[in-house]
Chains A and B, each alone.
Chain A
Amino acid sequence: MRYALLINERPGAYDGLTADERAAITAEYVALMRDERMISGERLQPAETATTVRVQGGRTLMTDGPFADTKEIFGGFYVVEADDLDDALELAARVPAARLGGSVEVRPLVER
């Protein structure tokens, strides 16, 4: 089954970390990308770079920033091919954001 791992980060999770610590976390993300179950994955630019679009009465409205102020910021995602939910949850638990005050939402994809 295919699952999306939606990565929510705690803002400031990297504050106060040394360069080495940051490099170690990056290495963990790289290692995850190399896992054979990984189909794809993307990291998003910071939330401040977002533009949110709504269409109301035929008019396109734009606002600066993400759609809502939340404690966690959606920071990226993986798409994985896992045997079952346990398999996908195991990968999700290895995402560093999950232990750095953020969370990873595991959602099955609609199979076409």
Chain B
Amino acid sequence: MLEEIFRDQWARVFAALVSYTGDVDVAEEAAQEAFAVAAERWARDGVPDNPGAWLVVTGRRRAIDRLRRDRTHAGKLRLLDRAEPGEEVTMDESAVPDERLELFFLCCHPALADEAQVALTLRALGGLSTPEIARAFLVSDETMKRRLSRARDKIRAAGIPFGIPREHLLPARLEAVLSVLYLIFNQGYGDGRADLAAEAVRLARILVGLVPGEPEAAGLLALMLLHDSRRAARVRDGEIVLLHEQDRGLWDVAQIEEGQALLDRALALGARGAYVVQAAIAALQTEERIDWRAVAALYDRLRELTGSAVVELNRAVAVAEVDGPRAALAIVDGLGLDGYRYFHSTRAELLRRLDDTAGARAAYRRALDLATTEAERRFLTRRLGEL
């Protein structure tokens, strides 16, 4: 129970403390201390009426104590001036403003390296511990600790602002936030690490709640929900299951409905970006009879938006359903994706359908060489055996 409250409250409390102290390190330490005090006291005395405000007030006191101990923090003197020794920190406990959006913009600032943005976002907004983030990205605790600490150092030293970006910067900065969440989602989705995908969904929900009128944010959440809804059906007995062979009974219907509703909302708001197009494709693919012509048209649109050869590869899969495998193969063979495993598995499938067994076998073997997960390897090995 406490753990749930902590997870819900972490981002708000941390954001409030960053705003108050103007320093991510001081805020981090103060937040941690506040949560430690809460864990002890709440277990004994029960949870206060307004746990968030309690944590913020406690965190502020801790931050001031820390700054008093460490007067060398020259830049924080302004804060100390506001709270002279002996003076009690008082605040209206009901009025802790929600500054999580500012925190999103801080963590996803493009002046930070992508991997630092991802790690900071999971730590600050997601409330994940450093070892949890390290595990998710398959690096050592020490590496992740250094990554986070370097990122916090840069925020302080370079003066990366905590706030809502100026109007003309806003679209690009929101885009940066979305791409961080999408990166987290894909890390979880592609590698089957469900916890990260679920975390990305949780973060996207928070973001959409903070900016309900932003079409592309709604589009991204729709995309995540629609993709994630098929998670349980994507792997069976440790093997990848293709869309048309998936057990639809395992699809999360409520999540599909929610994703569909969000997609409609995103479109109504005028979303036209890459996320909403992918969400629309995912929505079409949940239909009983898939409209492959519409899917191919959407991939065409997505290619215009992204210029990506991988998108063109996906379009070819839809084209195969509409115009047959030969037309699809012509598209695929024009793509320079030799190092990409799905390029070879797609070619293999098309060659198989064209009764080119030798060609299909060679392509499956190449895909097998490039496969990164056991579930993929099992799938490809079986297909190879069935030729």
Contact = CB atoms under 8 A, between A and B. Distances in A.
B166 interface: yes
Contact of A108 (B74, B109, B159, B166): B159
Interface stretch (A13-21, A45-53, A60-68, A82-90): A82-90
A1 interface: yes
A111 to B, nearest CB: 8
Interface string A85-112: 1101110000000000000001010010
Contacts, number: 26
A85 to B, nearest CB: 5
Contacts of B169: 86, 90
B159 A84 contact: yes
Contacts of B166: 86
B240 interface: no
B43 interface: no
Query: Which of A86, A88, A90, A106 has the most B CB atoms < 10 Å from its CB?
Result: A86
B331 interface: no
A25 B74 CA distance: 41
B47 interface: no
Interface string B62-93: 00000000000010000000000000000000
B165 A85 contact: no
Nearest to A82: B159
Contacts of B95: none
User: B-side binding surface: helix, strand, loop or mixed?
Assistant: loop
A39 to B, nearest CB: 15
B161 A108 contact: no
Interface in B261-296: none
B157 interface: yes
Contact of B165 (A3, A86, A108): A86
Contact of A88 (B74, B109, B159, B165): B159
A96 B159 CA distance: 24
A28 to B, nearest CB: 19
B139 interface: no
Interface in A30-75: none
Pick the most buried of A84, A88, A90: most chain B CB atoms within 10 A of its CB: A84
A83 B22 CA distance: 14
Contacts of A108: 157-159
Nearest to A1: B159
B160 interface: yes
A92 B73 CA distance: 29
Contacts of A84: 159-161
Interface centre among A1, A82, A85, A90 (most CB of B within 10 A): A85
A89 B160 CA distance: 10
Contacts of A111: 74
Nearest to A107: B158
A86 B161 contact: yes
Interface centre among B109, B158, B160, B169 (most CB of A within 10 A): B158
Nearest to B155: A85
A89 B159 contact: no
Contacts of B74: 111
Contacts of A83: 161
B301 to A, nearest CB: 30
A10 B74 CA distance: 40
A3 B111 CA distance: 14
Interface string B156-176: 011111000110010000000
Interface string B101-113: 0000000010100
A5 B111 CA distance: 15
Most buried by B among A83, A88, A89, A111: A89
B332 to A, nearest CB: 36
Interface of A: 1, 3, 82-86, 88-90, 106, 108, 111
Shortest beta-carbon contacts, A-B, top 7: A84-B161, A1-B159, A84-B159, A85-B159, A85-B160, A85-B158, A108-B158
7 contacts: A82-B159, A85-B159, A85-B161, A86-B165, A89-B111, A90-B169, A108-B159
